[in-house]
Chain A
């Protein structure tokens, strides 16, 4: 089956530093990747949609200058949290999709737990 990996799985950083999270589709090419953020006891909220070779589409309320997304290839998307602050501490999950119809299935990465001190 389709596998999506995320790295790192867990990261602790100091306030003000930047953190990069990688999302890779290991055995398929993903036309689109999505980034989600999940706070404790809440749902997964879509942050942005990333298409290979083009700029990411951010959801309302998500700062594009703070959450930099790069989708350099069909198998790799990165999310960089710039100048991280404690309120950015969260569980970040990526997903990858093949195709662009309303019935496509998502394949999720295992998630990255970010803790900002």
Chain B
């Protein structure tokens, strides 16, 4: 049930670009992206609500393909501060008719000077 993220880990040089993918076997109604620094809670980056929606946040943007049940996070001209673990998150519809919130498997990103 947990969305699978790829790659699991990536190392970049400052200024390079990266793409992180989030793929679900279940229908996605919305996708959230987070960045987590070591020992801290996840920090919300953005939410995508509609299939095909794209959003940007400084040099970080994301897209959401509802039909493919996938979302991608794009990091351009990476900075040292981008280092951390990135998670996608989504509300998953349950058999009891409610929604529960789960995270993807995570992608560790390290930006080197």
Contact = CB atoms under 8 A, between A and B. Distances in A.
Interface in B65-113: 87, 89, 91, 93, 96, 98-106, 108
B110 to A, nearest CB: 13
Interface string B8-52: 000000000000000000000110100000011110100101000
Interface in A76-117: 91, 93, 95, 97, 100-106, 108-111, 113
B100 A46 contact: yes
Contacts, number: 60
A105 B32 contact: yes
Given A102-B91, A102-B93, A104-B99, A111 B40 contact: yes
A95 B40 CA distance: 14
Interface of B: 2, 29-30, 32, 39-42, 44, 47, 49, 87, 89, 91, 93, 96, 98-106, 108
Interface of A: 32, 34, 36, 41-46, 49, 57, 91, 93, 95, 97, 100-106, 108-111, 113
Nearest to B50: A103
A57 B89 contact: no
Contacts of A101: 29, 91, 99
Contacts of B99: 100-102, 104
Contact of B30 (A34, A97, A102, A108): A102
